[in-house]
Amino acid sequence: MIVVGTATSSVAAERHIHPGDKLEVTVFNHPELSESVTVDAENRITLPLAGTIDTSNIGDEGLAARIRRHLLPYVPEVAVEVHTSAVDQSLLINGGPIGSLPYTPGESLASAITQLNSLTRNAATQASEASDNPGPSDFFHGRTDLHAVRIVRDGNTIGRYDAEHLLEIGDSGPRLLPGDTIVIASKPLRVLVQGEVREPGPAFLDAEEPLEDAVKQAGGDTSIATSRVILSRDGQQQTLALGDSIFRGPAHNGDVIIVPRAPRIGVVGAVDKPGDVTLHGDASLLSAIYNAGGPTKAANLKNVTVIHNGLKQEYNVIAAIHGGSGNPMLADGDTVFVPVGHHPDYSSFWQAIGAAGSVIYAVK
């Protein structure tokens, strides 16, 4: 919702109260109940004893009568006066990515939308430069539906407009008057994006938009995210790669995407590059050794130790290469120890396997 505001003195008596307006409320003979208040974004004020009061679709006199009714149970024969001391000069936004805009006299629907687009693009560009992972840079392809924008004037809808089409054909659209409200709805499909993304939360898509755009709306994944994500849809959960065809297909309303943190594994011992490795894709023991540069010539791959939560377990990696069970999935914080032993040189065999693609290592 955008509240556009200032009022001229000739229409001030007829003007409805809007969010951002500053009001002087006087309760005669009761200074402790008198207040200077600002109308919040939901068109409400809060006063001593009277509590929270809705200010929608009324002017100063109507609000004074409403406050009086709230106070009558406590203060018999109370008299109240309301005066708008300052009219908000900004555009207040609900339903869009920008919280407020300055109002320029002569503002049209198209110019207001253009302001929103420009500010959103600048914010996205700054986020992209900071993260090297750009998100959506265009207000039109974000979470809002610009094909059905409504203008509300003093509580009455005066028009419904395709703002995107107006901009495409260079039409400025209707002029905005002081106090007008522009209502921009969210796109119809809601997808919740959680985990290792830059801006976790709900994303909104059109029916034809691919599911992967929900992750883009959330700012994209972080540098410590795994490339395999969890999708919950219609009560079923599955693990998928971000490039999976399901992500290129349309979203379902209520989809939940969880982008897990990529496990960071310590690999020590007889490997070419001992140290910490981050497994963005495949999080198996074989992948950890591969990402640590592979085993050295002296490595004993039949007795590789995995330390998980302080517990040690040995695995025969050679057997795993041939389809055995010695290739467990690792968790964040695990440590892999490749010992040195008097065994045949398996390093060339390992390299041949990696080159032939017999073992899949998903690297981000």
Residue type, 227: S
- 3-state class percentages of the chain: helix first, strand second, coil last, to nearest 5: 25, 35, 45
Q: Which of 29, 241, 157, 6 is nearest to 149 (CA)?
A: 157
| pLDDT for res 315 | 92
| Residue ranges of domains in the chain | 19-86, 103-186, 190-259, 264-356
Tell me the C-alpha to C-alpha distance, in Å, between residue 25 and each of 30, 31, 181.
11, 10, 24
| pLDDT for res 269 | 92
Same fold? 19-86, 264-356: no
- What single DSSP character describes residue 174? S
pLDDT mean values, one per 10 residues, the chain (364 residues): 37 66 94 92 89 91 95 93 82 61 79 80 55 45 79 81 90 82 84 91 89 88 86 92 88 94 92 92 89 91 91 88 80 92 54 41 36
- What single DSSP character describes residue 29? T
Alpha helices in 96-191 (DSSP H): 109-131, 163-169
Residue type, 235: G
CATH topology for 264-356 is Outer membrane lipoprotein wza fold like (3.10.560)
CATH of 19-86, one of 3.80.10.10, 3.40.190.10, 3.40.50.300, 3.30.1950.10: 3.30.1950.10
Instruction: Please return the burial class of 349, using the count of CB atoms within 10 Å of its CB with bins 0-12, 13-18 and 19+.
Output: middle
Superfamily of domain 190-259: Outer membrane lipoprotein wza domain like (3.10.560.10)
Which residue has tokens 């010539």? 297
